[in-house]
Structure 1
């Protein structure tokens, strides 16, 4: 997947996911039960996706991959920005998106997690 429409469709397919535009029409924010797990935006002529990650993974990813940087306009300890369509990320971005979703979902109350699991 290398375009925003495909990624939006995928992210919305995750249970309990919804899309909003709190930062304007060009920034897509994906949440599960009101908590953001992904953001798709555009800067420096490139599309990118911000994803939540475990701090140790943030450090590893940003050191190992040229196309992954600390989260743009996010807490740099917990978020990464991943360039969409960069060949270096082929096959990896879906796993990072899934990890972000699961990380945020696991931070929900048990009641909300059960609601998501029931979808």
Structure 2
């Protein structure tokens, strides 16, 4: 997948999520997506390639890094709780969208119930 495509898929999905917003707290070279003032995704090209960094449960991040060469520990983030998606590999659109959604839900579930824009136990999850 091309880098601009990777970031476009991630950005498009983030913009669909209730309560999500784009900010630039680290300068114009970092697109930071937040829900209720909590970061769930970062996009940048400061590494020389367009990357996407999202939150992941530690065991999921470990499994994803083992399965995909283009998923690495989170760039400039806690390596246990964040992963970075890099262009050029075999990531598909639905995987990028799922990882962005899961990152969003990981943040939402830590918010006080009154501040949650969605129920993290049911939003976007079939069969629950």
TM-score scaled by structure 1? 0.87
CA RMSD of aligned residues (A): 1.9
**CA distances 1:92-116 after superposition (whole Å, capped 9, x unpaired):** 1111111101111111001101xx1
Tell me, what secondary structure is at the counterpart of 1:12? helix
1:77 aligns with 2:63: no
Question: For 1:80 and 1:94, how far apart are their aligned partners in 2?
Answer: 14
Counterpart for residue 89 of structure 1: 91
Tell me, what secondary structure is at the counterpart of 2:100? helix
Counterpart for residue 125 of structure 2: none
Question: For 1:14 and 1:46, how far apart are their aligned partners in 2?
Answer: 25
Structure with a larger share of its residues in helix? 1
Aligned residues: 115
Structure with a larger share of its residues in strand? 1
Q: Which runs of 5+ in 2 are unaligned?
A: 120-128
Question: For 2:66 and 2:39, how far apart are their aligned partners in 1?
Answer: 24
Shift of 1:45: 2.9
TM-score scaled by structure 2? 0.81
Question: For 1:58 and 1:3, how far apart are their aligned partners in 2?
Answer: 18
